[in-house]
Structure 1
């Protein structure tokens, strides 16, 4: 199994990402959330073997979604694009700082942040900057 990690550009927090994904324009034809990218993962089978996409928001990994499949997207311009189709449920993870990068990257399971403990997912999240600072000093 292998995960993906991706910046959620322009997103302020997890609820903002959830609202963006609730918009039908961001859905696959079967109504699931998707993210369209130009690059097709060469290791797709490993990701589809239980992998997730981890979302970096304001420099902090805050949540993940299980990847269900990859669909080809044709926008009529001859460029083959990849839609990463995900479960609708955003699972919050332990806040983990992450520097900015372009596109998406692979993330090994042993390097992935752990899910928040049961019962903590309903807690009001801290602001991303505070989460990052607390994570850097080992409090989170």
Structure 2
């Protein structure tokens, strides 16, 4: 059974800001994105069965990246950390509000917001907070 992760995207203002941040850090367009975290997910096999990392930007899930693999990283302080390697493609999702939390949380597939497809123009026309409010009442 697949499971996902949800993570706050601290310091990022919008989907476009996250996209440009990721592109600036990539060594090549095909190179995987990575996010290093202190804790190693205990549900690793489920994550690697098609899981994604869902990004919370300004209190709203707005994007996801498919998880490719997990790698051990030892910091300069000697502490073992987990690098979450993700496919470089950043996929817009239906907006879904989330309260602040520390670290990451598991996200069940049935609770994950749906992807927004390129033919959907709502992401270009509405601010994220408004789209999230409309999504909560079932309009978007």
Tell me if both proteins adopt one fold, taking TM over 0.5 as the criterion. Answer: yes
SS in 2 for 1:61: strand
1:105-116 equivalence runs, <5 A:
105-116=105-116
Alignment size in residue pairs: 137
Query: SS state of the match for residue 116, structure 1?
Result: coil
Normalised to the residue count of structure 2, the TM-score between the two structures is 0.88
Q: Assess if the C-alpha contact under 8 Å between 1:59 and 1:132 holds in 2.
A: no
- The alignment's C-alpha RMSD in Å is 2.0
What is the SS of the residue equivalent to 1:119? coil
Alignment-derived partner of residue 137 in structure 2? 137
1:67 corresponds to: 67
Residues 1:125 and 1:10: Cα distance change in structure 2 (over 3 Å): farther
Q: Mark the runs of 5 or more structure 1 residues left unpaired by the alignment.
A: none
**Gaps in structure 2 of 5+ consecutive residues:** none
C-alpha distance in structure 2 between counterparts of 1:32 and 1:2, whole Å: 20
For residues 139 and 105 of structure 1, the distance between their equivalents in structure 2, rounded to whole angstroms, comes to 27
Within 5 Å, give how 1:37-116 maps onto structure 2: 37-116=37-116
How far did 1:101 drift? 0.9
If the length of structure 1 is used for normalisation, what is the TM-score?
A: 0.88
- Equivalent position SS for 1:23: helix
Shift of the 22–122 alpha-carbon distance from structure 1 to 2, 3 Å rule, reads: farther
Deviation at 1:17, TM superposition (A): 0.6
